[in-house]
Amino acid sequence: MKIDAAQRLVARSVKAGHGALSEYDSKRLLAAYGVPVTRERLVHSAKDARAAADRLGYPVVLKGCAHDLLHKTEAGLVMVGLGSGKEVADGFRTLKARAGADFSGGFLVQEMVKGDRELMIGMTRDEQFGPSVVFGLGGIFTEVLEDVVFRLAPLKLSDAREMMTEIRAAKILGSVRGMARVDRALLAHAIVAVGRAAAENPDIAEIDINPLIVAGSRPIAVDGLVILKPAGSN
């Protein structure tokens, strides 16, 4: 997706009264601005799910995906480590049943990213300071440790580089315990991209990329959420 298409997607969604973009759309938008995201396909049938998984390579992750589905895990709509076409097809039927008849969304077949380090990037609009980008530890540690730092958007690459040194757990970005040093240039670009997405899309209220998993040395957005402002609130 190109940036202008991403901007149209936001406008369309706001007009439709959606409170957020689905994970799929969120990531397409973030990818348009330069955030590395998982390879994934949006599917609506078990057959398509299986075909998508064959193309991506096993194992895969299967997730419910809709603009009004903010808490997939809590709703039981995430399955990980599906290792064969049969598991994917069975998984699809299970999730579809769980989602219920009212579920209007689709399902995401996603490459399963392996990495021991989980980071996060986000954006919020502060009443006083305006769009502010956050970077820090991701996964469950986001809530537990709140080891994060903020910068105002738009950011320079040097701002993003500084953020990496300012979290308490800065060492986690280095080559610890045999893990590769995180590709800081790539990470800096991703942080800057989130600020740019916020600056260029005033209808975006909040962004959460969590976890951003470090696969080898490369950060990849495994989940993404773009929250929209209510229509007519600008």
Partner 1 sequence: MAQKDLKRFFAPRSVAVIGASANKGRPGRVVIENMRANGYKGDIHPVNPRGGKLLGLRVFKTIKDLPSGIDLAIVILPAQATPQAVRDCAARNIGSIVLVAGGFAEVDHAGEDLQQELAQASRETGVRVLGPNTAGHISTPADFTSSFFPLGEIPRGGISYVAQTGNFTGAMMKHIMSAENYGVARCIGLGNTVDIDETDVFEFLATDRHTKAIFFYLESLRRPREFIEIAKQVTPKKPVIVLKGGATADGAKAALSHTASMGSDDRILDGALRQAGVVRIDEFSHLFLAAKAVAPMPVPAGNRVGFVSPSGAFIVHISDLCRQRFNLSFPDLMPRTMDRLREISPPFIRLSNPVDIFPSATVHGMEFAYREAMEAVLTDPNVDAVVSIMILTRELGMPSLDFIPELAKKHPKKPIYISFSGDHACNEEAKAFLEPRGVPTFPLIEDAFKALDILAQARKSLKK
Six-digit token string for 209:
């990329």
Q: What is the DSSP string of 17-28?
A: T-SEE-HHHHHH
In DSSP terms, 204 is beta-bridged to 228
Q: Which of 158, 145, 153 is nearest to 124 (CA)?
A: 153
- Distance of closest approach, residue 209 Cβ to partner 1, in angstroms: 9
Comparing CA positions, the residue from 40, 16, 15 lying closest to residue 26 is: 40
In whole angstroms, the minimum distance from the beta carbon of 62 to partner 1 comes to 23
Closer to partner 1 by Cβ: residue 43 or 120 = 120
- The least distance separating partner 1 from the CB of residue 125, rounded to whole angstroms, comes to 8
19 or 34: whose CB is closer to partner 1?
A: 19
Minimum CB distance to partner 1, residue 190 (Å): 14
Distance, in Å, from the CA atom of 48 to the CA atom of 63, rounded to the nearest integer, reads 14
Cβ-based nearer residue to partner 1, 47 or 168 = 168
- Any idea which residue has 């940036």 for tokens? 3
Closest approach of partner 1 to the CB of residue 35, in Å: 14
**Residues 6 or more apart from 107 whose CB is under 8 A from it?**
42, 43, 44, 49, 62, 63, 64, 65, 92, 95, 96
| Closer residue to partner 1 (CB): 38 or 142 | 142
Supply the minimum distance, in Å, between the C-beta of residue 98 and partner 1: 23
Beta carbon nearer to partner 1, 50 or 196: 196
Q: Toward partner 1, which CB reaches closer, 9 or 148?
A: 148
For partner 1, the closer of residues 47 and 129 by Cβ is 129
Identity of the residue numbered 213: I
Among 121, 194, 137, 185, smallest CA distance to 157 is for 185
For partner 1, the binding residues (CB under 8 A) are: 19-20, 70, 120, 122-124, 126, 128-130, 132, 134, 142-143, 146, 148-152, 155, 159, 162-163, 166, 206-208, 210, 225, 227
Q: Is the dihedral of CA 42, 112, 90, 53 positive or negative?
A: positive
> Considering Cα of 156, then 158, then 160, then 166, what sign does the dihedral take?
negative
